[in-house]
Each structure stands twice: as structure tokens, then as C-alpha cells.
Copies of this chain bind each other. A is one copy, B any other.
Amino acid sequence: MREDVNEKCAVVGIYGHKEASRLAYFSLHALQHRGQEAAGISSSDGKKLHTIKKRGLVMRVFDEAKLKTLSGNNAVGHTRYSTAGDDSILDAQPVFARYDLGEMAIVHNGNFTNADEVRNALISKGAIFQTYMDTENLIHLIAKSEKKNLLERIIDAVERIEGAFSLVFLSRTKMFAMRDRHGFRPLSLGKLPNSGYLVASETCAFDLVGAEFIRDVEPGELLVFENNKEPKSIKVFEPTPKHCIFEYVYFARPDSKVFGQSVYQTRKNMGKELAHIKPVEADIVIPVPDGGVPSAIGYAQESGIPYEMGIMRNHYIGRTFIEPTQEMRDLKVKMKLSPMTDIIKGKRVIVVDDSIVRGTTSKRIVKMLKEAGASEVHMRVSSPPTTDPCYYGVDTPDKDKLIAANMTEDEICEFIEADSLAYLDEATLLRSVNAKEENYCTACFTGKYII
């Protein structure tokens, strides 16, 4: 997990399986990389919803006894990246509501860009908000809609919100899955082995529970799961795809397929393109693990320069509250990453990372490699300079903390003390992912926000 840019959430929905909450649990585990701070599941037994949500990793939040209380054939689940910061769990999902049509639970990956505006309008009409999540807007819009049934009200509600949303709704008997018109965040539909369906943020969840990938939920599409039949599709919005290119760059698990393509393959392509357009003479190509591995492999294949595991990542890292001694310089980075000294010493090293956000980690890595004896360190980044924050569901630092928003490439190179630095340009990135420019959101590299 990077420390500076983080996916905000993962969602999952299970419909029509007698072990719905159990499948939700394992699916959330597969999606743990999209949010480590809190996890929750709501299930429906046909009469009532049951909800458990709590701080912690999926494996710690649930146990057999808790899964048993989450009875019923339908369930939605959520993992969440960092919340407001105190111990309140108000901001965990699913969001639950009793309202005039009964009960509902909602899970949401994304961000409503008009959340403040909608909230203020709702509040001025007497609505109350009990959390700081923009998702809470949605239950108000549904509750206040004058349409007769939940399906129509969901449509009514999503028409009022803007921004990025991959949503799953659970009522006492039905389930709904919906993606915004731009399809910013991924959401895929699968078929469970014997009966039932699942939707999940990434297909890696399908693989774990043995589900078969059917297709992506389309941008602007609403899927209705009812009566144990196959989902009915409703085109709520005309699709104008603007998929988040950063899912390919960093967020998604490499064994997932998102937006119709293998994540691993697109990352390798980025590395190949990078080698092609930003070559440099060197002895070895090494990745910054784990994010840079696929693009480093691609870079090495394209350049013919040998791929090496030059930096090792320590996976026993947790939170330590022990202060280092004065002599243990750079302890924080070293507890996580350590150099393979013998492979690096005396070598001209190309080190490939997926992105540079604040620049401080890159600086420490270059330093570490130089201390390990690298004669040259060439930083290659498999995405363009990150210049702008994301408003569509990714937790990014403010613009003034983004090094590429404040320095030229040359200045960054000097700051991180590398011998050379090169990024992938936007056009090449798009070519790497085999994508039409108009179908992808690249605002974090260009500042061209579409909403």
C-alpha cells in the first residue's frame, strides 16, 4: 500500500445464495487492498436487514458467530480506507436506513462531486445527517423521492447526484447495482457456481469464491436482482465512459480484469512503452515493489536490460510504536524496503515505480540504492507526473503536496537525487492501456476534470 494515494473503497453484492454473507466476507478479503480501515456487511433474510460494521481488516471484523447473525440469501459488503480519524465508526459502510418503503443498505465506491450542494439542499428542507459520508445523501434522496417503488426512486436519486459511483443497494427482497454514466470506478458482474450472482469492484473477488465473470456493469447501467432470476438491465444514463486510468496504474490488483482488460497486462505495456520512449543505458532494471513489478518486467523485456529483484519488501510490516535510536536513519523506509546490495553494487540501475506523488519516498529509495553502491540510478515512472488531486473517489494529497504540481521534471530529478528521471506521457499511457483518450479520466495527470 502506498502511503500517499489510496483507493477509498471496495464494494460487493451477493444475490441469491444461501451463504450470502460468507461469500461477501471472502470477496471483501480479496478486495482488502482497496481499503484497510473498516469493513462491513449487511444481509437480508427477506424480512429484515442485519448489519455489522467495524474498524479493522475484514479477517478481524468478522468471525463465525457474526457471520451467522448475518443471515439471508442476499448481502452487500464494503471495505473502507481511512475515515475521519477518531474512533467513531460512524463513517463505515454499509449505510443503513429505515424509510417509508422499509429498510435499505447501500455500499458505495466513489465520490459525489455535488455532495455539499445536495446535502445543503436536503438539510434546508429538514433532513439530518448523522455521518460525514457523502453516501448519506443518497438515502435521503431515495426516501424523499415521490416515486412509488425503490427501483424508480433509485433512478430518481442517482439523477440528482454527480460524480463517481459504483453502488450496490440491498432491500429486504431485492438487490440493485449501479454505475455512474462515466463508469469512473470499476464494477463487474459474475455468476456464482450453483446459484446466484455477485457484483464486485474487481474480478479478483470472483476468482476466490469460484464465480464466473459475465461482464462489467455498464456505465450508466442499473442492474435489478429480484425473484432469483438473472439481473434485469436498465439504462439509466447514456454511457459516456471516463474510466479511472489510475486503476490500471496502481489501484487494481494485477490479477483483476477491470474495464475489460487485464491489469497486469496493461501495466506491462506501460513498462514496455516507457522503455521505448525513455530509454537509458543501464545494467539492470528493478521495480519498486510491489507496485512497480509488472511495468519493470515490461521495461526489461522491451529494453533487453536484465530484470532483477533489486529491492525487497518486508511483509511483516505493521504499525510499530517503538521509537528508533538516533543512528537508525531512514528506519521507516528500511523497515518496508531493503536493497539487494550485491545485485546493485557498482551497477547502473533503472528503478521503475508506478507513480511519484509527494516525492519523499522516491528520494529515500534513490538514496538507499546509492548507499547500496549503485553507480547510477535512473528513475522511470510508468505514468505521467501526478499534478492534480482526484475528486472521483481517490484519496490524494492536496495539490500543494503533489511534487509534480510544484516542480518541473528536472527539479524533481534533482530533488530525488536521481541521475535521470522520466515519466510516461499521457498519450503513451493511453496507448499502453489500449484506450481511446475520450473514454478515460486522466484528470490526476492533466487537471481536465470532466465534472
Q: Which A residues fall within an 8 A CB radius of B? A: 17, 19, 22-23, 25-26, 29-30, 32-33, 36, 50-54, 57-60, 62-64, 66-67, 69, 85-90, 95-100, 123-124, 126-130, 139-140, 143-144, 192-194, 204, 207-210, 253-255, 257, 261-262, 264-265, 268, 293-294, 297, 300-301, 306-309, 312, 314-316, 318-325, 327-329, 331, 334-335, 338-343
Check A308/B316 contact, CB under 8 A, given A53-B88, A128-B99, A340-B262.
Answer: no
The residue that A207 contacts in the complex, of B60, B90, B307, B334, with Cβ under 8 A, is B334
A63 contacts which of B53, B64, B322 (Cβ < 8 Å)? Answer: B322
Q: Are A130 and B127 in contact (CB under 8 A)?
A: no
Task: Give the distance to chain B from A270, nearest Cβ to Cβ, in Å.
Answer: 14
Q: Which residues of B contact A315 (CB under 8 A)?
A: 315
A26 near B324: Cβ-Cβ < 8 Å: yes
Q: Is the CB of B340 within 8 A of A254?
A: yes
Contact A33 B316 (CB under 8 A): yes
- Check if A99 sits within 8 Å of B127, measured CB to CB: yes
Q: How many copies does the complex hold?
A: 4
Q: Report if A318-B57 is in contact (Cβ < 8 Å); known contacts: A128-B139, A309-B293.
A: yes
**B209 contacts A328, CB within 8 Å?**
yes
Min Cβ gap A392→B in Å is 23
Q: Given the interface contacts A318-B59, A331-B26, does A128 sit within 8 Å of B97 by beta carbon?
A: yes
Contact status A130-B96, CB under 8 Å: yes
Contacts of A50 in B (CB 8 A): 86
Once A88-B51, A123-B98, A325-B19 are accepted as A-B contacts, the answer to whether A307 and B309 lie under 8 Å apart by CB is no
The residue on B at minimum CB distance from A33 is B316
- Chosen A-B contacts, 29 in total, with CB atoms closer than 8 Å, are A17-B325, A26-B322, A29-B316, A32-B316, A33-B316, A50-B86, A51-B86, A59-B319, A60-B318, A63-B322, A64-B321, A64-B322, A95-B130, A97-B128, A98-B129, A99-B123, A123-B143, A127-B127, A128-B143, A208-B331, A208-B338, A209-B325, A210-B327, A254-B309, A257-B342, A264-B309, A264-B342, A293-B309, A300-B307
In terms of DSSP, what is the predominant structure of the interface of chain A? mixed
Complex-state Cα separation, A301 to B343, whole angstroms: 14
| B96–A124 CB distance below 8 A | no
When A255-B339, A309-B294, A309-B297 are in contact, do A90 and B51 touch as well, CB less than 8 Å? yes
Which single member of B314, B321, B328, B343 contacts A264 (CB below 8 Å)? B343
Task: Please name the residue on chain B nearest to A318 by beta carbon.
Answer: B59
Give Cα A210 to B343, complex, Å.
19
Q: How far is the CB of A194 from chain B (nearest CB, A)?
A: 6
User: In the complex, A128 Cα to B22 Cα: how many Å?
Assistant: 28
Chain B residues, Cβ within 8 Å of A257: 341-342
Specify the chain B residue showing the minimal Cβ separation from A257. B342
B123 contacts A100, C-beta separation under 8 Å: yes
A373–chain B nearest beta-carbon distance, Å: 12
Bound-state CA distance A127–B144 (Å) is: 7
Chain B nearest CB: distance from A443 CB in Å?
Answer: 27
Q: How far is the CA of A36 from the CA of B314 in the complex (A)?
A: 14
Q: Please report the C-alpha to C-alpha distance between residue A301 and residue B309 in the assembled complex, in whole angstroms.
A: 13
Residues of B within 8 A of A58 (CB): 316
